[in-house]
Structure 1
Amino acid sequence: MKNTLFQRLSLSAAVLALLMQTCIAASVGWPREIKTEHGIVTLNQPPQRIVSTSVTVTGTLLAIDAPVIASGATTPNSRIADAQGYLNQWSQIAAERNVQRLYIGEPNAEAIAGQAPDLIIMSATGGDSALKLYDQLAAIAPVLVVNYDDKSWQELARQLGEATGHEAQAKATVKQFDERVKKLKAELALPAQPVSALVYRPEGQSANLWTAASPQGQLLHQLGFTLAELPASLHGSQSQGVRKDIVQLSGENLAEGLNGQTLLLFAGDNSDKQRLMSNRFLAHLPAVKNQQVYPLGNDTFRLDYYSASNLLTRLETLFISH
């Protein structure tokens, strides 16, 4: 009799504890409302089948261990991507996690629906935006629209952590990276300042200049670099659509806009450096005359945890005396 009563009391206590834990989890976690570029998205529970239509955003989802099952891709077998069209800096991780390729380039609603997602993530701007399919995709699953052109990958990671229930993973990843940045900043012997940070396009005699709002510009600022101010005559130059992270330079504006004492070539290697240095229209630039041109790797066109980590390694190699 006593044992039976004790068992009942123990069972009741266990059930009560479980109910309390469930209530606490629900009150602080789910459902939750996420503010997006397209209003508020309500998520009733942590997503388990995330589809990323943005190859740029996929890297940050992988870094916080979010359950991304499929992703859009870019042109395969290029200088920045593998045979799947996944960015080189995280392609191996995507393979290990069996992330399926949705499509290459042009968004495909049928391919997205075929993955039966419980959350679809897309970018608001950029070449990998699927915004034109928003209404169609919103009928399939909740759609989270994020912007990566006006914030660091760390800020994006925190936002995605909140949306996916992976806040702890996002916090840990960002903390580890920021500690490395802080340590590196104390060790760097900076090149001549200020700097122009750019993506050089020799075939079109043009460049995309990273602004202070770009993830690249923000990371350089964290490390103690100073971005050269755009000449007054070029203020209001066209940028790529509604993007805040770049200013496009071409023609006579190219040389005028590259006014930094040092040129940092993102999405570039030594061959890009040589082509810039041999451009006779840029030969008069102080950075070119003083050999202050540094390529930072092909994987730095879009910064996520993986490419940003690779960038720190390159900066260590370039600007720390060993």
Structure 2
Amino acid sequence: MGSESSNSVIVSMFVVVVLLALDASLVHGQGTRVGFYSKTCPRVESIVRSTVQTHFGSNPAIAPGLLRMHFHDCFVNGCDASILIEGTNTERTAPPNSLLRGFEVIDDAKAKLEAACPGVVSCADILTLAARDSVFLTKGQSWQVPTGRRDGRVSLASDTTNLPSARDSVDVQKQKFAEKGLDTKDLVVLAGGHTIGTAACRLFSYRLYNFTTSGNGADPTIDPAFLPQLRALCPQNGDAARRVGLDPGSQNRFDTSYFNNLMKGRGVLESDQKLWTDASTKTFVQRFLGVSVFNVEFGRSMVKMSNVDVKTGTQGEIRKLCSAIN
């Protein structure tokens, strides 16, 4: 009996150790950890933060730009800064990335870090930190960022086909996120990043005029009182490049009004509005109507996403210029 009890204790302790290890892997990722540069480049976070803040001061649009850029980077071959590479047929030239902004911010931060700590900090880590700082600058909550990523050496436009699209159904969105190890909650939380920033009319104007073949041709999930506003901003056959706030009334502030707008039928992108009409995601939208809960969950999901297929150790490289492979 004593032996069985002892074995039971050992098994219980083993389970606890495994659970702790699993939790640590989520916090620290696949070889990344908070404070990775504490000895090799202790000012890395302050340099990135001040650089983002300077650019944000003259152009607030770089905040959502950097957040989107990080997302688009992680969904293609992992968070390895491959999206930053210039050249023919690179990720940066692909249609889904054609409207991204903020590349000059990363280049500026990299130049400063190369001056302070040559060959130490990866572009992948700079982009990850800049995305966090962008949320904080738009009045969101900060979080600790595990670092230690290395930069990828491959960047192909043809690899961007798995990026989430504004026309994706919820099932397709969930599949694309699941392929990256992200669950339904992560999907809704990260979609909440649309609380800041804008979208070009060409990404959603079909919802306003050509969605159905009957009636007024508009997507029936759009709030009837909101439809005239969107049509005024994006006239039929008007400027397809004109940009509209993804979170009407609060596009410059990181808050939960995005979720409130989905509840009211005021989501601008079809893929966003579907998060309210689909039962599997609606539950999370309702949960994130509270500011504090969403802020905390957003940080957790960002850490989780930023460790998707990362390159660490001897993998990849530390680029001298973020826009070019060494």
TM-score tier (shorter) = under 0.3
More strand by share: 1
Structure possessing the higher radius of gyration over alpha carbons: 1
Higher relative contact order (CA 8 A, sep 6+): 2
Give the alignment's TM-score, normalised by structure 2. 0.26
Q: Which has the higher helix share?
A: 2
